[in-house]
Structure 1
Amino acid sequence: MFTKKSCILFLFQLVLIFQHASAQESILSEYSPLYVQKLIAVAKENYPKSKAYEHQVKIAKYNLSGEKTSWLDPFSFSYLLRSNNNTVDIVNPQLLTGYQFGVSVNPGSLLKKPFNIKAAKEEVKIAQLEQNEYALQLESEVTRRYMFYLQSLNLLKLQNKITVDAESSFADLKLKYQRSEITFQEYNSASTNLSNAQMARVQAEANMITAKASIEELLVRKLEEIK
């Protein structure tokens, strides 16, 4: 059964937590769209997968340029030198002497060339669309991870304050218990509250560190380096 003093202590702790939560600034006050855009720009510049899409677009453009400059591929050029040795070959008479040139055409390759160029153009468009799609995904992911980092940081600040209050309350009640001014149940309750607050702070610290590492994974840089 709770005593009157333990109930009053419990209500007092709830009031402290509520005051901390009310005094805690909203994370929206710390959110800067300009800073987030800077983070997004850094992620697009540094994140390997973002670079991979950029290279895919370049490759597609190179292939298109190659198709446009290969119109002569279906044509085969040859030449033959016939010398004049003043002899007459009855079996294979040479009516012409000097350099002789010839041209052959592969009709199939020639007819497919316009379609190959169109296909290469479509591949460029596909590569650009995939790059744009990933850019949108990266923007959303950077924003989401940064907001989670701000949330974790603020929760850690709040939990630090709650833990400090729990430590102060426990020290006060411990002194009163030593003076026999409160019961063991009240003292034990304060000890339990302190342990819970300390464990919650450890968890909040871990969450904040994880959230920071998560956003820095996309940036390939430390948050502190980006001003």
Structure 2
Amino acid sequence: MKTLLKIALFSSMFIAFGASAQQSVIGEINYNDLENYISLAKKNFPRKKMFEERVKLSKVGVTTSQLSYLDIFNASYYYRPSDRRVIDPINPYNVNGVQFGVNISLGSFLSKPFDVKRSKGEYKISQLEDEEYNTTLTMEVKRRYYDYILMLKQLKINTQSAQDNKSVTESLKNKFEKGEITLDAYNQSRIAQSGTDLSQIQAEVNYLKAKDLLEEMIGVKLSDVKK
């Protein structure tokens, strides 16, 4: 009877191993889906949006610093009706009518090129940071996608293994009821079945976690992604 049990359990393990050997994670990778997920992450992930906003703000800073050259000029004018007499012994050049004046701040004039250069440098840095994060984001999406595919394959393997072991357990149950095997042999098969059931449950949890992590990165449910 022990020999019969060993053969049955070995057959179950062989079936599970065979199913595992036939599975290929690499063959299940869909690169079109992967590129789509990367595009969605770049569009939806909040941290990516933050870097893009920094680039926009720093670009505005360059334009603002360039326009600030006008700040060094202070224009003014005075209007005195022509029919009024001018009594200004201090400034005899003060005359009636409209008078214009322009003042230039030398300090501001000299500092403006440095301000523009600094704002352009900040703009360039923000661009490089955004490019760097593009690479980081791409690699993170790939990592989560590969983990998702791995957990999906493990779930399929464990599910198949649980089904195969259930068939073995049912077969041994029938043999036990017919008196062909001992109670101990039948109980061992039930213990093995419980182990595969627990493995299947853990595989389901791992799959759901991997799925949630990928959806967190791309910003939408996988079921809502257009194929």
TM over 0.5: yes
Matched, 1:130 2:125: no
Could you tell me which runs of 5 or more consecutive residues in structure 2 were left unpaired when the two chains were aligned.
none
Equivalent positions of 1:1-227 (< 5 A) are 3-24=2-23, 26-84=24-82, 87=85, 89=87, 91-92=89-90, 95=93, 96-224=95-223, 225-227=225-227
Structure 1 vs Structure 2: percent identity of aligned residues?
34
Output the CA distance in 1 between the equivalents of 2:45 and 2:141. 11
Output the CA distance in 2 between the equivalents of 1:120 and 1:181. 86
**Cα displacement (A) at 1:90:** 7.1
**Cα displacement (A) at 1:82:** 2.9
> Residue by residue, what CA displacement relative to the aligned partner does 1:68-120 show, whole Å, maximum 9, x if unpaired?
12211011111122344565637557542111122222111110100111111
Output the CA distance in 2 between the equivalents of 1:17 and 1:118. 66
- Of structures 1 and 2, the one with the larger relative CO (CA 8 A, separation 6+) is 2
Instruction: Check the 8 A contact 1:152/1:208 in 2, yes or no.
Output: yes
TM-score normalised by structure 2 residue count: 0.92
Instruction: Check the 8 A contact 1:170/1:194 in 2, yes or no.
Output: yes
More off after superposition, 92-101 vs 201-210: 92-101
Q: Please give the root-mean-square deviation of Cα atoms over the aligned residues, in Å.
A: 1.9
Indicate the SS of the match to 1:69. Answer: helix
> Residue by residue, what CA displacement relative to the aligned partner does 1:153-203 show, whole Å, maximum 9, x if unpaired?
011011111001111111111111122211122111100011111111111
Could you tell me which runs of 5 or more consecutive residues in structure 1 were left unpaired when the two chains were aligned.
none
Output the CA distance in 2 between the equivalents of 1:38 and 1:178. 55
Q: How many residues align?
A: 225
**Cα displacement (A) at 1:65:** 0.7
Output the CA distance in 1 between the equivalents of 2:37 and 2:4. 52
Relative to structure 1, the CA distance from residue 100 to residue 4 in structure 2 (aligned partners, 3 Å threshold; closer, same or farther) is: same
Relative to structure 1, the CA distance from residue 83 to residue 94 in structure 2 (aligned partners, 3 Å threshold; closer, same or farther) is: farther
